[in-house]
Chain A
């Protein structure tokens, strides 16, 4: 079956699009899928460092579009996983180097050989975003439980619907369960009610995302990590499986953790 094209976008920058793309790519590859992650952020390349593949770049997205290399030559294979590839973006060019129809053509060429094509969209609502959503079969909107991120997510959802690319599905990233419990952070339910689109993933705030990104190893490859589990669950849902959402009300304070250890010991 030809690949599904999934674009990850957000409106606001810094909410975790690139982290989500890298982790969904890794999680899908762990589940035996053939995946390519495409960095759609021309001039602000980052998916390569998040995946830990920055030292292996020879050709990039603009080289493919402008015919300086074959598609295969620009696909960097992640050796830690069976079938995960990266097409890096160009660092020294700007968004106008690629058009929406270039992206559609690229994806048509990639489709027959793969299961999933994940496109990491740049922030904003300009050319780079338009390029990223043009070939999409499905769009995932990443947001944080904060007013500015939610507002921008709503704006982007409106544009996606106007372009008849919708309805997108929602990933709520960086939830702090303790703050939600105190009433000091919008809950997942609040965000879903405000944005009124279907949820596909809840990711708890996790310091290990930073440490794993420092190492260039997506957290989804860590079996013990809860946020890694959350990304693996989204990957399952993308494959059509019904997976219950993680309960995030687990107490992550020292006492909460001690309590859990003690209770587990008692079982």
Chain B
């Protein structure tokens, strides 16, 4: 079903835009030799390490590779959970 909607959406999208989006991802992975699968693994490990120190919502963690000129960056966005303080006496 989601495939149907994807097709519906991508039909309106210009092929040049699709090419550019696809190339952005491909080039980042080519340049760093770092696959999507390893990125997911890294994310899981990172969540594990950080959770030992501070309370986070694993579902809200985002890790992305971005291009800055010919440099690649790993950007992690890890929202912290608010601390529930015990009400004092």
Residues of chain A touching chain B, judged by Cβ–Cβ distance below 8 Å, are 146-147, 150-151, 154-155, 157-158, 161, 167, 180, 182-187, 190, 193-194, 196-197
- Give the interface size bracket for B toward A: 10 to 19
Contact of A150 among B14, B23, B69, B70 (CB under 8 A): B23
Distance (whole angstroms) from the CB of A8 to the closest CB of chain B: 20
Residues of B within 8 A of A182 (CB): 14
Assess whether B22 is in contact with A147, with CB atoms less than 8 Å apart: yes
Q: 8 Å CB contacts to A: which residues of B6-27? A: 14-17, 19-20, 22-24, 26-27
7 residue pairs bridging A and B, Cβ less than 8 Å apart: A150-B23, A154-B31, A158-B30, A158-B31, A184-B15, A187-B16, A196-B69
Assess whether B70 is in contact with A183, with CB atoms less than 8 Å apart: no
Residue of A nearest to B70 (CB): A196
Given contacts A150-B27, A184-B16, 17 further A-B contacts (CB under 8 A): A146-B19, A147-B23, A151-B23, A151-B26, A154-B27, A154-B30, A154-B31, A167-B70, A180-B16, A182-B14, A183-B16, A184-B15, A186-B16, A186-B19, A194-B27, A196-B67, A196-B70
Distance in angstroms between the alpha carbons of A121 and B58 in the assembled complex = 50
Distance (whole angstroms) from the CB of B70 to the closest CB of chain A: 5
Distance in angstroms between the alpha carbons of A146 and B26 in the assembled complex = 13
Interface of A is mostly: helix
Contact of B17 among A150, A155, A183, A194 (CB under 8 A): A183
By Cβ-Cβ distance, the 7 closest A-B pairs, closest first, are A183-B14, A196-B70, A196-B69, A190-B20, A183-B16, A184-B15, A154-B27
Distance (whole angstroms) from the CB of A202 to the closest CB of chain B: 16
Contact of B24 among A185, A194, A197 (CB under 8 A): A194
